[in-house]
Amino acid sequence: MHFAQFDTAAFLQDNWQKRPLLIRNPWADWHNPLEPDELAGLACEEPGVESRLITRRPDGLVLESGPFPEDRFSKPEAAPWTLLVQAVDHHVPEVAAMLGAFRFVPAWRIDDVMVSYATDGGGVGPHFDQYDVFLVQGLGQRRWRVGPCCDASTSLLPHEDLRLIADFAATDEWVLEPGDILYVPPGFAHDGVAIGDDCMTYSVGFRAPSRGDLVESWSAHLADTLPEDDRYTDADLAVQANPGEITAPALARLHAMVTDAMADRAAFARWFGAYNSLPKYAETDWRPEAPIGQAAVQALLAQRQPLNRNPASRFAFIRQAGDALCLFVDGQSFDCTGSVATVAEQVCASPSLTVDPALAASVPVARLIAALIDQGSLAFEEAA
């Protein structure tokens, strides 16, 4: 799937992380990529699929968590309800194909595609998210109301499971038809309600690590790597007027011990690449029963056998000096140069690729691909 008419440069300049935007069907040929029954089937699978059911009762919204029994959706429910299933792109290739249209945002920012199905009047209530989201109307109609930007001081309704805005006041309102998209930046209040039955919405969400998460995770990683004997020293200690004082020179040394370690940009880059590439849902296991081996990889590359990425895997790279780069896949890092770096860039650029058969004789290329296959991040098409 791709856009036939959409000015991505203007969007990034005028709207991205700035203000909401209604985009009337920009697709070259929109078609709903998933049937409601298929979505319900995912929600009834093993716990590896995260799903929720929100029902609008007279006393408010009630949330249930999946997986659900197979007959849960065959029984008519009088009250309006909404089914939400996370990471559907990991299970349905047609849904994953939607992400190609949003690649004007760096891939490391993309989270997953959540899909919702709602009956008439169904919705999750007025709320705000801490991340960007494109709300693609797949089937039926939904009325969206958008309000002002919210923050930690925004009043919320008391609810055990949902963060609902207490005093929601809409500033804009639209009815979305199939193929229409509503972009909502972080923090903006929004509320979507299904008009009629068979309302499906695809939520393309983006990752936005918080400063607190970064500091906590980076410092924890550093703490694990620092030697135990790297300790505070003060060989120039002099007698103080008051022994109870923590002096400015002591504080300067202590502060430097922390900030100097935290300020290592190269170490931070390598850590963040691995940290950011950790899969959110690792249940889609593509690991082979036995290691594939370098010779088998070279033979399949020579035959121009396509490679596919595991849809649950995360791929990214950081450029280094010269032609070198560091490839990050599912929390693992791989130092690449020359033709290996070229292949690493290619595998990050597309969910599938065919490696130049001229590289089949390259042992380093074969070793990289074999390692990615053995860890379940990549697979030849015939074995996927």
List the one residue out of 181, 27, 207 whose CA is nearest residue 100. 27
Asked if residue 239 belongs to a domain, the reply is no
332 and 198 belong to one structural domain: no
If asked whether residues 332 and 189 sit together in one domain, one would say no
Asked whether residue 232 is domain-assigned, the answer is no
Flag whether 357 is in a domain.
Answer: yes
| Same-domain status, 175 and 221 | no
Verify that 202 and 222 share a domain, yes or no.
Answer: no
The residue segments making up the domain with residue 182 are 8-206
Q: Is the pTM of this model over 0.85?
A: yes
Residue burial 207-239, b: 16+ Cβ < 10 Å; e: rest: eeeeeeeeeeebeebbeeeeeeeeeeeeeeeee
pLDDT in tens, 277-334: 999 887 778 999 999 999 999 999 999 999 999 999 999 999 999 999 999 999 999 9
How many structural domains are present in the chain? 3
Q: Angle CA(132)–CA(208)–CA(155) in degrees, nearest 5? A: 70
Whether residues 222 and 360 share a domain: the answer is: no
**CATH number of the structural domain spanning residue 301:** 3.40.366.30
Residue-level pLDDT at 203: 98
Q: Which amino acid is located at 185 in the chain?
A: P
Do 217 and 349 share a structural domain?
Answer: no
Q: What is the pLDDT of residues 357-380, one digit of tens each?
A: 999 999 999 999 999 999 999 999
Residues of the chain with pLDDT under 50: 384
Q: Are residues 334 and 190 in the same domain?
A: no
What is the model's pLDDT at position 318?
98
Same domain, 55 and 26: yes
Q: Do 190 and 309 fall into the same domain?
A: no
